[in-house]
Each structure stands twice: as C-alpha cells, then as structure tokens.
Amino acid sequence: MKKLWIYPGLMLFLLVAAVFAQDTKARPHPDGIPDCRTCHICEKPTAANPCLRECPRYESLTITHTAADAPGVIVLDELSQMYVPVVFSHRLHAEMADMSSGCSVCHHYNPPGKILTCKECHDRSPLRADLSKPGLKGAYHRQCLGCHRDWSHETKCGLCHALITGVKTEKASVDTTDILGVEHPAIPEPDKLVYQTGSEKGRLVTFYHDEHIQVFDLTCVNCHIKENCKRCHQPAKDIAARAALNNTPKNLKKSEEAHHQACYGCHARDKCAICHSEKTRDRFDHAKRSGWGLNPYHQKVACDNCHGNLLAKKKVNKNCDSCHSGWNSATFNHKVTGLVLDENHIESGCEDCHIDRKFDLRPNCENCHDNEIKYHAKVPGRKINSGK
C-alpha cells in the first residue's frame, strides 16, 4: 500500500525538475542582461527553440571607451596551425573605427557590461552544432575582410599573416615599431558646404561642418553612420571606372530618406525650413534662432551646460534661478546683465522690478512709477556693450 504513494511523489519531483530546468540557461550568459525579453520573444526559450528576436545590437551596447583607452597591440594566437599568430594593431583600428560606428564595428552584440573578447562568444572549434553563428576563425575573417577586401578587392593573407616556415610552431614576433605610434592621417574637415536640392521647401541647404563639430560638439560617428574605408580609398581602376560612369546620365542620387538620416538624429523631421532655403544661410546666431541673445558670460558656456545632451536637447528655463542660486541683491553685480543700475535703483530689491523673481519676463516699472514709464523706453541705468 505504501508503494502507491511513491508514484505521485515521483511525478511531483519530475514536474518541479522540469520547471527548474526551463529556468536554467542552456548555456552560460554574460552578466548584465536584465531581462530575457531583451533577446527572446517567448517566455521560456530553449536551445531547440530559442525564439530570438532581431538582436538589439546598438541598443544593448554599453561601450563608451575611446580609441586612446584601447590596448595598443593584441596577439591573436588561438588559431595558428598554418600561420604565425597575428599581431593586431588594435588601437590603430579603433581610431579608424571612430570614423564609422565606433567600437561596435567589431564588438557587435556586446551585452551590457565589460567588453568581451571574440572567443567568449565565438567557438574556436570548427565542429559546432549551431551553424547560425560563425566560429572564431570565421568571425576573425569576416570582420577583417569586411573592410580590407571592400576597398582593395583582393584577399591578401600576407597583410596580416606570416607563414610558418620551421618545423616547430613559431611564436609571434611582436615587432611593434611599424604599428605603434602610427595614426590615421588627419582628414581635412570642410568649413562650409552648400547642397543644391530639388526640394520645394527650399532648394539650398547650407551646412556649416565646422560649427557642428566645434560649437555643437558632435563627433564623426554622430553623422557618418556605417561609413567604410571604401568611401575614401578606391583602387585606381575603380576611380577610372567611376569617372567613366559619371559621364553617362545615371541617377546616382541617394533617396530622400538616406539624405536626411544623419540629420534626424538632432533635427525634427517636419521643420524643413531650419535647413532648406532659397539662399545660403549665415552661421548659427543664438539671438536670431532663439530670441535670446547671449551676453559675454553665456557665450563662453558650453551648449550642453544649459541644453543637456544635444542629441536629446531640452528647452531651457530662462529664469536665472534655474542655473544660478545662492545669490542676493547685496552680492549680485547687475552689470553682468548688460545694464549698470543708476543711483536711484542700485538699492532696489530684485522683486521691485522682477515680479515674483520671474527674470525671464519683462521688468515691471509700475510698482514704483506711473503707467507712462515703460521698460525699454526708459531703463533704470546705462546699457553697456553686451559683447554682440
């Protein structure tokens, strides 16, 4: 009779074990992924049915290092049966990647957290059950040839590899004299570009390239998305073929969406007049664009100090108190506003002219004066050069 209780107990055990097994990951996952739904579309993914969504490649990327932070040289010696291990000039490649998509060019699909090495995701063994992801050798060559062969149109193994000549496996000769300290030559940056378009909103677009870099603090990768070496580096035969092609009437223009893609990162899609006009535009002027001229002190302040991240810029609260606090009429020098108060007003409190301390509104004179006295017609002192 007691044996009858064994079967329900065994069934319960198997049920719990099955549930537990579903919560156990089929293979180790990197730390830092907060939710399975980041990558999977079903509640209980399995090795047989992982139900993967399109990998959120850029959304999950948390690499914020610069090329200067990168290691100078990495020796790739995991696969060295035929060739001497590769001495990879990592920092030099990182500098070139800055002109495209940054670290994500190679460290794609890197989960939140530390930067993973290639072999942490790609299996070095050529015998794999999962053929949807390349092995380590395939990953190396896919990444390297993706750039090198794109512009050279040749597969030059010797560019990276040296053949093993002796009986014993040779060690990598890390002679860094030819790669350490080598940098990509500086690319001349244009100051101003004027594009002719067929837009009815305005056929000319005046683009101040230097202003976007120096004033708005953008980097190359903010606009030059998915660029590659081929755009600048072309074999001579390709240049000749391209010139011949340009002599024939071909429609080689980008689509309207492609032209605007880099701009939409900062500019609203429906405000065409900011860029399009019938004549070339002057440089950015804060007073004309926003209605708020910058005095000499604010001209020295970086844009993001007031607007936050320029890629998600916020509207500024014009009240002085929103940035400046802890000051009072006894210590404040009104001269910094561009107006030196006269002797009749120098002892006045802020609230006497600025009702409720709302400094973004026009000063009110009616607290002390008759209605005929209005600010700007009458000013309580002497205006000085505002630096404009």
Residue 351 lies in a domain: yes
- Domain that includes residue 275, residue range: 192-284
pLDDT score at 239: 53
Same domain, 340 and 294: no
| Residue 269 lies inside a defined structural domain of this protein | yes
Q: Do residues 250 and 198 both lie within one domain?
A: yes
Q: Are residues 381 and 304 in the same domain?
A: no
Q: Is residue 243 part of a domain?
A: yes
Whether 327 and 382 share a structural domain: yes
Boundary of a domain, candidates 284, 308, 335: 284
Final residue before a domain boundary, out of 296, 316, 336: 316
Residue 227's domain is classified under what CATH number?
3.90.10
Beta bridge partners of 163: 83
pLDDT score of 278: 92
Q: What are phi and psi of 259, to 5 degrees?
A: -65, -35
* Residue 276 shares a structural domain with residue 323: no
pLDDT of residue 209: 92
308: in domain: yes
Q: Which of 265, 284, 303 is the last residue of a domain?
A: 284
Between CA 373 and CA 183 the distance in angstroms is: 66
Report pLDDT for 118.
86
Q: Are residues 365 and 339 in the same domain?
A: yes
- To 5 degrees, how large is the angle CA 230–CA 234–CA 237? 140
Residues 326 and 311 in one domain: no
Residues 306, 347: one domain?
no
**Is 143 contained in some domain?**
no
Question: What's the confidence (pLDDT) of residue 388?
Answer: 41
Cβ–Cβ under 8 Å, residues 172 and 85? yes
Q: What pLDDT, on the 0 to 100 scale, is given for residue 75?
A: 78
Task: Answer yes or no: do 206 and 224 share one domain.
Answer: yes
pLDDT value at residue 208:
93
Into how many domains does the chain fold?
3
CB 191 within 8 A of CB 210: yes
Q: Give domain status of residue 295, yes or no.
A: yes
Residues 208 and 262 occupy one common structural domain: yes
182 within domain boundaries:
no
User: How would you write the chain as a 3-class SS string?
Assistant: CHHHHHHHHHHHHHHHHHHHHHHCCCCCCCCCCCCHHHCECCCCCCCCCCCECCCCCCCCCCCCCCHHHCCCCEEECCCCCCEECEEECHHHHHHHHCCCCHHHHCCCCCCCCCCCCHHHCCCCCCCCCCCCCCCHHHHHHHHHHHHHHHHHCCCCHHHCCEECCCCCCCCCCCCHHHCCCCCCCCCCCCCEEEEECCCCCCCEEEEEHHHHHHCCCCCHHHHCCCCCHHHCCCCHHHHHHHHHHHCCCCCCCCCHHHHHCCHHHCCCCCCHHHCEECCCCCCCCHHHHHCCCCCHHHHCCCHHHHHCCHHHCCCCCCCHHHCCCCCCCCCCCHHHHCEEECCCCCCCCHHHHCHHHCCCCCCCCCCCCCCCCCCCCCCCEEECCCCC
Per-residue pLDDT tens, the chain, 388 aa: give them.
Answer: 445 555 555 555 555 444 444 455 555 565 555 567 767 788 888 878 888 776 555 455 556 667 777 777 777 777 666 677 888 888 888 877 776 667 777 887 777 777 888 888 888 887 777 777 888 888 888 888 877 877 777 777 777 877 777 655 455 555 655 555 556 677 778 899 898 888 888 889 999 999 998 888 887 777 876 666 766 766 655 555 555 544 443 333 567 777 787 788 788 777 888 889 999 999 988 888 877 777 777 877 878 788 876 665 667 777 777 777 777 767 788 887 888 999 888 888 888 888 888 887 888 888 888 887 888 788 898 888 654 4
The verdict on residue 247 lying in a domain is yes
- Looking at residue 245, its pLDDT comes to 43
Same domain assignment for residues 335 and 292: no
Residues 199 and 266 placed together within one structural domain of the fold = yes
